Amino acid sequence: MKKTIKVLVTDPLEKEGIQILKDAGFEVAESGKLAPEKLCEIIEVYDAVIVRSATKITRDVIKRGANLKIIGRAGVGLDNIDIEAATLAGIIVMNAPEGNTVSVAEHTVAMLMALARNVSAADRSLKNGQWEKKKYTGTELYGKTLGIIGLGRIGRRVAAVAGSLGMKVLGCDPYLDKNLLDGTGITVVSLPGLLQQSDFITLHIPLSDSSRHMIGESAFEGMKDGVSIINCSRGGVVDEDALYKYLSSGKVKGASIDVFEKEPPDAENPLLKMEQVIVTPHLGASTKEAQVNVAQQLASQIVSALTEKEVKNAVNMPSLDKKSMEKLQGYLSLGEKLGILLKQMSGGGIKKIKVVYSGDIINYDLSLLRANIIIGLLKDFEKVNPVNASLILKEKGIGIEEDRRESGGEFTNLITAAVEDGREISAAGTIIREGEARIVKIDGFSVEAAPEGYLLVCYNEDKPGIMGHIGTILGEKGVNIASMTLGRSKKGGQAITVLNLDQGIDNEVLTRIEEFPAIHSVKLVRI
């Protein structure tokens, strides 16, 4: 009987997302916000858990999630999830980065305009019976410079609106593909350059160890006098104590803040009492449209991952677009089989892996292929998968080197992998007609063997009688040879014999085969 997939939703999720999960046949439980201790008590039975920003998925929760395969964040920020623990456990962490792009960008622009025109302070003044036109004279955005830190979807959307207002847009993001900026009108500069030139600075980056307090005292010192700050990304990327200091000195003219280091902020937080500071309670993604979009996107991703094995927007594992997956599908399986072959050929004790990708596959993202090769090598490790493969490899102290070459020689594409365990053992494979995988080289010898079932690999001298010897022994045991391939360096020199067998053989048979004088060693590999 097929097991029902169970999903726990701990923070509010729009009904449209819940319905997608139910329509897929999933069993959905909506618990509301849970403390980690309570979550630990119930998480064991669930295949996936969906959170927003309130519920914390801690290391202890992950340890108790025996069946947990996916942690889904209905939104972008992931600072409430222990990604490292999830990765080590082989659990996919995914978010929904596209669903709230428009809403957050629009809120950022609203905060920018409100700041430039003193909307918040003027509103309070007028409601208190004052008419202070001169006091709240604003600043035009036209011709001013907006600096955008973080040029992802939201940052680029903000840039598009700012450009239409006649603003000069600077941006910095060391991790972004520059090709995504073609036609955006964004001038890419260094962070110091952005700080020095910008009249307004807006942040659109995740919170991490490296980004925490990115905008601190040294950053404020590098800004021009009278700058204004907008933060609709994550609390903590701006040092609030430093911001208060530079607002008080007048170095920073004003700030619009949607996110805080502590949410909700303490009532005594001095930023809440400053007239030149506009605050909102983390409203960036708080539109009906964004909530529905995020819920639908995340739910659809979870269904695809758990039913079709198609993973999108995972933050801790490689994922491929449809075109890349179609191109690389056969090579992904081949990569794992190469890893299995080399692991069994080496007998363990691997210290280093070298992989060379050749042919037109080098034009694609090969991170998932690399992960599959590692999976094959670590096959005996519990729960190794594309999520944790690289991390486990690192923890085992095994190094990996990769290279890409335009030509695969006689093959359109070729994957060559080698391991070191005191000596180097290598194997190369490709995909031939009708998507069939083949091992085409072992330790430099040309062969042609199907990477499936049982492979008998003999290192021998190129002398007569070897196949007769092997065939006789296997025939006596009733073992059928499905196919056979021979490779040699030169006539009468060192050679290799590889046979696909219909069934396995025991050590006694291997010993008998190895007794032939011209056979140096024999290995049975099961793929």
| 501 falls within a domain | yes
β-partners of residue 146 are: 169, 200
Clarify whether 282 is annotated catalytic.
yes
Clarify whether 234 is annotated catalytic.
yes
What average pLDDT does this structure show over 487-492?
88
In this structure, how many other beta carbons lie within 10 angstroms of the beta carbon of residue 152?
A: 19
Q: What is d(CA 6, CA 13) in angstroms, rounded to the nearest whole number? A: 16
Identity of residue 402? E
| 521 falls within a domain | yes
403 lies in the same domain as 466: yes
Domain housing 35: 6-97+290-308
CATH assignment at residue 109: 3.40.50.720
Q: Over the chain, what is the mean pLDDT?
A: 93
Encode pLDDT of 307-343 as tens digits.
Answer: 988 888 998 987 777 778 888 889 999 999 999 999 9
Q: Is the pLDDT at 280 greater than 70, yes or no?
A: yes
363: its two tokens = 């034009």
Encode pLDDT of 186-235 as tens digits.
Answer: 999 999 999 999 999 999 998 888 899 999 999 999 999 999 999 999 99
87 lies in the same domain as 108: no
331 lies in the same domain as 375: yes
86 lies in the same domain as 105: no
Length of the chain counted residue by residue: 527
Catalytic residue among 16, 44, 84, 263: 263
In this structure, how many other beta carbons lie within 10 angstroms of the beta carbon of residue 520?
A: 13
151 lies in the same domain as 91: no
Cis-peptide, bond into residue 264, ω within 30° of zero: yes
Catalytic residue among 282, 370, 469, 512: 282
Catalytic residue among 73, 234, 370, 512: 234
Clarify whether 52 is annotated catalytic.
no
| 285 falls within a domain | no
89 lies in the same domain as 173: no
